[in-house]
Structures are given as structure tokens and as C-alpha cells.
């Protein structure tokens, strides 16, 4: 063993000395700050404090405000007018005294003097459809803003207020101290808009053939803004894109509509027996016990009969909701209504759908079943759905979410036929919008600032839920489809965006209003990033545990991006700063390839590397004990060794040559490598990612290897791996299953001249 020790020391001495000499020959470079991709995110993150802990959990002093509402709402169907009187009780749970309150007036985005259209650029188009020309140059703006009639305290005293576009500041009579409450009322009305032309989030659709309207009503009342530890009042203006930051509260809402209308919305219906017929009550009781198919509460025949009635009488529907961040409702005499129960944890939840006959037969077949499937999938990935129902409402050109209720598109042709595109589109939007109950309706992030925290996380879970849906309901798939055709989530689907023009790409960590390619930025890229994190970087077990921990920590609370990033690391022991920085803070892209592959042989003849070193030392090979010399195939060393017969190209002479360097115990388990390779991987793209490699051998077998992302920590451009194998490698493929969103796969295989389809045929032939 003395000889063995001297052998290893000799190799170490040679390698260290040459490295030192090479370093000395390099000119000195100027110093630099830490630009390593694995640098911790201390510069980007806020310092943890008593409100938000370093672990990503709520801190010991975490607080959030509460806003409770009591509202009386009247819908004037003939004049398309909505009126309301609301009383807000605001609880100051912060440590700060408040001298005023900020209230959101989102309908003012549609006010006649709204500034929202003025922030959009426009230019004269050489050709326009008549309706485009009319809208652009001849149409008067629709005046749908709030008409605030009064703002008073509970004693009827007027309160001073100021309206700045979509925000209203209400002056308090005296400072609202910590732990105090303040109640005040607002009386208002506004003209309801037709939501179809501009795809508005709220409004009505007019059905010309029967003269009816279907209403989907949201952002319809003055709503309290969020006050928190991060930025105080979140009173950023609503320009139309960025959605809503809202506090939780309890709601009692009375909604008066025409007597022949069907209505549902956020919260429990507290006067069901007053607004349901006896037949509807019987069907409802049956639906509560139906877990396999929806039960019609209002049939299509009944809805078609109601379309002709146009009652002059009214009916008031009363709804109560606890601990929700918003309220919305849908109403029409055209609605068909069905329900079914779905078991979530140890309780039953009602999956519900409202749709006019124009949605059938598609909606009757699949809407409520899709709602039920979504609740099961999201609950599995996060927490048991806490509310008692989830409603899907059919609305043309719509896709929008609120607590317990959402609007969804997907309309068949008049003859009832529909394409796969329409069917899958309807299913996907229902999954997405119902899924928003979890993010951000319960895990209540700031949509106005961080769009990706609700849209991106939700789009990721939508992809998981679509996979579940196809597994649980295979009959939903069209003939020829083995999997659900998900639009977002798979890595390959984001490649075109990430490899696009950098002038039109923004980091995910940007305010939604200010980004290019909003859909890819806020939905597609974060969804793909999380899918890659789950499937490729962390693995499902670690990811799912950490993701569920985040959901539990922040359900019914207000998380920030840092809370999410920190929790994912805290619950998994996975250092992910490199991942968050690359995917969320930059617009870098993935491009990892094979730069070169060199094949080596073992020789007993000193190679030129050793000879050059010894010559500088004034020594010869005779001064060294036998070493292992590696010679590259095709090199002069290789040719000389081949000529002299000193290549040890099979295991027997190699073992004999080295045997004296090993103990008898070591010899029993020694491997017998026959082939040696040096593979150099390059990274033209900026994003750090694991290197997923598939090695294919001459006998057709394969081996999959995943080198962790940390392999790039000391060299961001290229790395190499020395490989000893008992079988000859005939092909190397990087990211063979397209898991990493690599924007250029032309450098992903070796040898490059072997095309993928040709090689697949070769593998099949060999294995066969």
C-alpha cells in the first residue's frame, strides 16, 4: 500500500503544480462583485421581521384588517341599473392609527371621464371593419362609473370624502386607533355595461332573440382597499388589467331582482324556502345526496318558459358569507341550474352550474362535473376546500373568478354541435376559474402588484387538475387524445416565448400592468417554472409537501412573493435562490448543450502531458512509479501507444497493471471499465438548470443521469464530466424529454449528425 499512496501523491503533485503554473500565466483581471448565479437573494429580499418570518411563515406580530359588509342591492332589469346601500364596519387590527380609509371604486374604470383608455397607445389602421371604425372614431364613451349619493357615519352624519379616479379617500372624524372599529355607509348606483364587446369582467349579455339579459355582477360595490405591513394602503389605481387586493370580512347581502329570475352568488342562501318552489326544494335535497351526476334544479324547459314571462314583480335573495374577500352574483330568467355533491375531506361541497340554453348540451354534460373534479384536485394539492359550494356560470367571452362563483366561456353552435377546441376551452377555463378560489380568494395575494402569484400559481395547479380530470373522466377526452391537451404547464409550450425578442419580455417579478405579453409572463412562464421545479428539480414529494405548507400557512392571509419563495425552501431543505433569481427576476432562457465528447484510453506509456512536466523539472519517467496515463483517441499519444502496444484497452491488462495498488478486499469489488469519455457541456443560455442526460450504449440500453444545477456553481459557461463505462456509448442526449424549456435543441445530442427519429428507430431495432 506504500506504493499505492506514492502513486496517488504523484498524480496530485503533478495536477496541482500544473494548475498553479497555468494560473500564474494568466493576466490579472479587475475585481468584481458577486455575480454568481447561486448568490443568495439577500439583496432582493426584504429583511425578515415580526410580521413576516425568515421561514416564510406569518410572523409573531402578523396582522390583517377586516371589512364587514351589509348591503341591500336592487337590479333594475328594464333600465340596466344597479343600486346599492352598504354599511361597512372596518376593524383596525394594525398597530397604526388611521386618519382616513381608502375605498376602491372599480366601476369608475368605465366612467365617462376615465383615464384608462388614455394610457393605451393607438394608431390609424389602413383598413377597419365598420364596427371597429365606429368604436374607434364615432362611439361616445359608455358612462358606467359609480354615482356616489352619500357617505355617512352610523349616526347619519356626512363624512368628507375625495374621489381620485378609481379610489375614494374617506376622512375619519378622529384617528382610528389600533383594535378600534369604525362603521360608515355608502349609497350608490351605476349603469350596467354590456360585457360582451370588450370582454369586461362584469355586466350583462343581451340575447336579441328573446329580449333577455344574463347578468354576471362583480366589482359592483365600493370595496375596502388593503392596509398591511408591506406598503401601508394598497391604493394603486385600477387601470383595467391588474386585479384586486382585498381584505377578508363577513357579508350579509340582500339582492332584489325580477321575480322570475334565478340567482346565485357568494355565500349561503339564507331564505331558500322563500325563493325556491316546492319542486326546486325537492330537487335540491336530491342533489345533496348525488355524488356521481348533477341534478337539475331548474330544467331547460322551465328556463325556456321563464324567458317569456318578464315579470313586473320582484323577489329578494338573501346571502350570507363568512371570511371572504369579495362578493359577486349572477342572475337571469334564462338560467338552467344544476348541482351535485362532492366529498372534500370529511364534508360535502355542492358543485353548481348556471347556464342559459345557449350553453347546452355542452354545459349540462360537463360543467358541474368539471367543477367537482377541480375541487378534488386543488384540495389534494393544497387544503380541503373550506366553503360549502363552488359555482360555474356560463357567460360569453368570460373567464373571471370570485369567492364561490366564477364566469366561464364555451358556447356550442346554435344546432348544439361543438368542436374539441370549444369543449377543451370550456373545461380548462372552468378548472382555472374555480381554482382561483384557492389562489387568490383564500391564499390572498396582492393581485394589483404581483399578478403571477394568483394567475401563475393557479395556472400551474390547473395543469395538475387537467391531468387528474383526464384520468378520472377519460370519457371527456376526444377520440385520439391520450392526454389532456393542456395549453400551459408543459416546458415545451413556453420555449417560443422565452427564446423571443428580449425587447418584449419582462421578468415575472414585474407589476402586471407594465409587462409585455401578459399571458405568457403572468400565466405561462410561472406555471411552467413551477412544473419544472416539481418534476425536474425538486421531485414531487418534496415540492408537494412544501407547496402544501405554503398554502396552509397563508390560507385566509396576505402572502408576498418572498413568503412563497422562503416557505418552499424552508419546508424542503432545497436551496432555490438560483431558481427564483433566474426564472422570476430575469428574462434569461435555458440553452444547455454538448460542446464536445472525447474518448480516452489507458496507456502504460507516459503521455506528452507527463513528459512536458518532467522535462521542466529536469526529470524522466524513470523517476516515477507506474502511473495511469490517459490518451485521447486520435491524438499523437494515442497513435504512439497503439504503435508500441501499450494501450490497456480492456479490463484484464488494466487490472493487472493496477492490481498492486489495491488491497485484496478492494480487488473483490473492483469495477471493470472498458471505455473512458470526457464530455463537456456548455450553457449558452443564461438560466441555470440541472443537466438531464440520457446515455445510450451500443447494445441499445440507456442510462438516465441528472446532474444537479449546482454543477454550474464554479463555471457558468461550461463544465465537464469524466465517465468510465463497461459499455461503449454511442449517443448522448441532453433533455431528451424536453423537460427544461431549452430554446435551442440543435446542440442537445452527440453525435450531432444522428437525428432523433433515426436514433429512435435504431434503439427499437436493437432492443427488439
Q: What is the CATH number of the domain that holds 90?
A: 2.60.40
Selected residue with higher pLDDT from 62 and 660 = 62
Q: Render pLDDT for 284-311 as a digit per residue (tens, 0 to 9).
A: 999 999 999 999 999 999 999 999 999 9
Whether 159 is covered by a domain: the verdict is yes
Angle at 767 between CA 765 and CA 768, to 5 degrees: 60
Whether 494 is covered by a domain: the verdict is yes
Selected residue with higher pLDDT from 473 and 114 = 473
Whether 496 is covered by a domain: the verdict is yes
Q: Are residues 45 and 183 in the same domain?
A: no
pLDDT band at residue 628 under the 50/70/90 scheme: confident
Q: Is 303 in contact with 357 (CB distance < 8 Å)? A: yes
pLDDT at position 658:
67
Average pLDDT, stretch 341-352?
A: 97
Q: Are residues 46 and 154 in the same domain?
A: no
pLDDT at position 18:
40
Indicate whether 613 pLDDT > 90.
no
pLDDT at position 7:
39
Number of domains in the chain: 3
C-alpha cell at 80: 340596466
Q: Are residues 58 and 71 in the same domain?
A: no
Q: Are residues 123 and 199 in the same domain?
A: yes
C-alpha cell at 759: 436514433
- DSSP class of residue 585 equals S
Whether 729 is covered by a domain: the verdict is yes
Residue (of 572, 587, 485) closest to 534 by Cα position: 572
Average pLDDT, stretch 33-59?
A: 94
pLDDT at position 529:
97
pLDDT at position 490:
93
The last residue of one of the domains, among 588, 614, 643, is: 588
Torsion-angle region of residue 11: left (phi > 0), alpha (psi -120 to 50) or beta? alpha
pLDDT band at residue 652 under the 50/70/90 scheme: low
Average pLDDT, stretch 177-185?
A: 98
Bridge partners of 706, per DSSP, are 692
Whether 630 is covered by a domain: the verdict is no
Q: Are residues 90 and 116 in the same domain?
A: yes
Q: Are residues 541 and 527 in the same domain?
A: yes
Indicate whether 671 pLDDT > 90.
no
Q: Render pLDDT for 448-504 as a digit per residue (tens, 0 to 9).
A: 999 999 999 999 999 999 999 999 999 999 999 999 999 999 999 999 999 999 999
Q: Are residues 70 and 150 in the same domain?
A: yes
How far is 604 from 658, CA to CA, in rounded Å?
Answer: 10
Whether 436 is covered by a domain: the verdict is no
Indicate whether 6 pLDDT > 50.
no
The last residue of one of the domains, among 556, 573, 588, is: 588
pLDDT at position 575:
96
Indicate whether 648 pLDDT > 80.
no
Indicate whether 197 pLDDT > 70.
yes
Indicate whether 14 pLDDT > 70.
no
Q: Are residues 93 and 240 in the same domain?
A: yes
Q: Are residues 507 and 547 in the same domain?
A: yes
Residue (of 318, 324, 181) closest to 250 by Cα position: 324
Q: Render pLDDT for 513-524 as a digit per residue (tens, 0 to 9).
A: 889 999 999 999
Q: Are residues 50 and 107 in the same domain?
A: no
- The average confidence (pLDDT) of the chain is 91
Indicate whether 198 pLDDT > 90.
no
- CB neighbours (10 Å) of residue 356? 25
pLDDT at position 670:
73
Average pLDDT, stretch 740-762?
A: 75
Whether 276 is covered by a domain: the verdict is no
Q: Are residues 528 and 581 in the same domain?
A: yes
Q: Which residues contact 499 (CB under 8 A, 6 or more apart)?
A: 589, 743, 744
The last residue of one of the domains, among 568, 588, 608, is: 588
Indicate whether 618 pLDDT > 90.
no
pLDDT at position 25:
60
Indicate whether 24 pLDDT > 80.
no
How far is 426 from 411, CA to CA, in rounded Å?
Answer: 8
Q: Render pLDDT for 269-285 as a digit per residue (tens, 0 to 9).
A: 999 999 999 999 999 99
Q: Are residues 47 and 104 in the same domain?
A: no
Q: Is 79 in contact with 192 (CB distance < 8 Å)? A: no
pLDDT band at residue 753 under the 50/70/90 scheme: low
The rounded percent of the chain whose pLDDT value lies above 70 is 92
Whether 434 is covered by a domain: the verdict is no
Domain range holding 526? 36-62+488-588
Phi, psi of 179 (to 5 degrees): 75, 5
Amino acid at each position: 500500500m506504500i506504493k499505492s499512496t506514492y502513486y496517488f501523491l504523484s498524480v496530485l503533485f503533478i495536477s496541482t503544480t500544473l494548475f498553479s503554473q497555468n494560473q500564474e500565466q494568466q493576466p490579472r483581471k479587475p475585481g468584481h462583485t458577486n455575480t454568481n448565479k447561486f448568490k443568495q437573494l439577500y439583496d432582493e429580499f426584504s429583511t425578515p421581521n415580526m410580521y413576516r418570518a425568515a421561514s416564510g411563515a406569518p410572523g409573531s406580530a402578523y396582522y390583517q384588517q377586516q371589512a364587514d359588509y351589509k348591503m341591500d342591492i336592487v337590479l333594475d332589469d328594464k333600465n340596466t341599473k344597479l343600486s346599492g346601500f352598504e354599511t361597512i364596519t372596518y376593524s383596525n387590527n394594525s398597530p397604526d392609527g388611521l386618519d382616513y380609509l381608502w375605498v376602491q371604486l372599480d366601476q369608475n374604470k368605465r366612467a365617462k371621464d376615465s383615464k384608462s383608455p388614455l394610457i393605451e397607445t393607438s394608431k390609424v389602421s389602413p383598413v377597419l371593419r365598420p364596427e371597429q371604425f365606429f368604436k374607434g372614431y364615432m362611439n361616445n364613451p359608455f358612462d358606467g362609473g359609480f354615482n356616489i349619493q352619500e357617505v355617512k357615519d352610523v349616526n347619519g352624519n356626512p363624512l368628507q370624502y375625495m374621489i381620485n379616479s378609481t379610489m375614494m379617500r374617506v376622512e375619519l372624524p378622529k384617528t382610528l386607533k389600533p383594535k378600534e372599529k369604525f362603521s360608515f355607509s355608502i349609497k350608490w348606483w351605476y349603469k350596467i355595461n354590456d360585457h360582451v364587446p370588450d370582454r369586461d369582467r362584469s355586466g350583462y349579455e343581451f340575447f336579441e332573440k328573446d329580449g333577455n339579459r344574463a347578468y354576471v355582477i362583480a366589482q359592483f360595490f365600493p370595496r375596502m382597499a388593503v392596509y398591511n405591513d408591506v406598503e401601508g394602503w394598497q391604493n394603486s389605481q385600477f387601470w383595467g388589467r391588474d386585479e384586486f387586493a382585498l381584505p377578508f370580512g363577513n357579508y350579509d347581502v340582500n339582492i332584489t331582482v325580477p321575480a322570475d329570475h334565478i340567482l346565485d352568488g357568494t355565500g349561503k342562501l339564507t331564505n331558500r324556502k322563500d325563493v325556491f318552489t316546492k319542486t326546486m326544494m325537492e330537487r335540491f335535497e336530491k342533489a345533496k345526496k348525488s355524488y356521481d351526476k348533477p341534478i337539475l334544479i331548474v330544467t331547460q324547459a322551465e328556463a325556456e318558459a321563464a324567458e317569456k314571462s318578464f315579470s313586473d314583480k320582484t323577489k329578494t335573495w338573501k346571502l350570507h358569507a363568512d371570511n371572504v374577500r369579495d362578493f359577486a352574483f349572477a342572475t337571469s330568467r334564462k338560467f338552467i341550474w344544476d348541482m351535485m355533491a362532492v366529498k372534500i375531506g370529511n364534508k360535502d361541497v355542492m358543485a353548481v352550474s348556471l347556464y342559459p340554453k345557449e350553453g347546452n348540451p355542452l354545459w349540462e354534460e360537463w360543467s358541474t362535473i368539471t367543477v367537482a373534479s377541480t375541487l378534488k384536485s386543488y384540495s389534494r394539492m393544497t387544503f380541503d376546500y373550506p366553503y360549502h359550494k363552488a359555482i360555474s356560470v356560463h357567460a360569453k367571452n368570460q373567464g373571471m373568478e370570485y369567492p364561490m362563483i366564477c364566469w366561464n366561456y364555451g358556447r356550442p353552435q346554435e344546432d348544439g354541435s361543438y368542436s374539441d377546441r370549444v369543449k377543451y376551452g370550456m373545461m380548462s377555463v372552468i378548472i382555472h376559474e374555480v381554482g382561483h378560489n384557492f389562489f387568490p380568494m383564500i391564499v390572498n395575494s396582492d393581485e394589483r402588484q404581483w399578478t403571477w402569484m394568483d394567475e401563475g400559481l393557479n395556472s400551474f395547479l390547473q395543469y395538475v387538475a387537467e391531468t387528474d380530470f383526464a384520468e378520472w373522466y377519460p370519457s371527456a377526452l376526444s377520440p385520439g387524445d391520450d392526454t389532456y391537451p393542456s395549453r400551459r404547464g408543459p416546458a415545451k409550450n413556453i420555449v417560443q416565448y422565452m427564446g423571443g425578442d428580449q425587447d418584449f419580455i419582462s421578468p415575472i417579478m414585474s407589476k402586471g400592468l407594465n409587462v409585455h405579453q401578459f399571458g405568457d409572463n403572468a400565466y405561462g412562464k410561472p406555471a411552467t417554472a413551477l412544473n419544472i421545479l416539481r418534476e425536474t428539480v425538486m421531485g414531487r414529494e418534496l415540492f408537494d409537501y412544501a407547496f402544501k405548507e405554503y398554502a396552509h400557512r397563508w390560507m385566509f392571509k396576505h402572502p408576498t412573493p418572498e413568503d412563497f419563495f422562503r416557505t418552499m425552501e424552508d419546508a424542503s431543505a432545497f436551496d432555490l435562490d438560483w431558481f427564483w433569481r433566474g426564472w422570476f427576476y430575469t428574462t434569461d432562457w435555458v440553452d444547455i448543450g454538448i460542446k464536445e465528447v472525447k474518448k480516452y484510453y489507458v496507456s502504460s506509456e507516459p503521455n506528452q502531458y507527463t513528459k512536458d512536466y518532467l522535462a521542466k523539472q529536469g526529470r524522466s519517467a524513470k523517476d516515477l512509479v507506474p502511473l495511469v496515463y490517459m490518451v485521447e483517441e486520435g491524438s499523437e499519444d494515442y497513435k504512439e501507444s497503439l504503435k508500441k502496444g501499450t494501450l490497456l484497452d480492456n479490463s484484464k491488462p488494466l487490472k493487472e497493471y493496477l492490481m498492486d495498488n489495491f488491497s485484496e478486499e478492494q480487488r473483490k469489488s473492483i469495477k471493470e471499465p472498458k471505455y473512458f469519455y470526457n464530455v463537456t457541456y456548455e450553457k449558452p443560455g443564461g438560466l441555470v438548470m440541472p443537466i438531464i442526460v440520457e446515455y445510450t450504449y451500443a447494445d441499445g440500453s440507456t442510462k438516465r443521469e441528472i446532474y444537479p444545477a449546482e454543477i454550474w456553481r464554479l463555471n457558468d459557461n461550461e463544465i465537464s464530466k469524466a465517465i468510465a463505462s463497461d459499455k461503449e456509448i454511442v449517443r448522448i442526449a441532453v433533455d431528451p424529454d424536453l423537460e427544461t424549456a431549452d430554446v435551442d435543441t440543435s446542440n442537445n445530442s452527440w453525435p450531432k449528425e444522428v437525428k432523433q427519429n433515426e436514433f429512435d428507430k435504431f434503439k427499437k431495432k436493437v432492443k427488439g
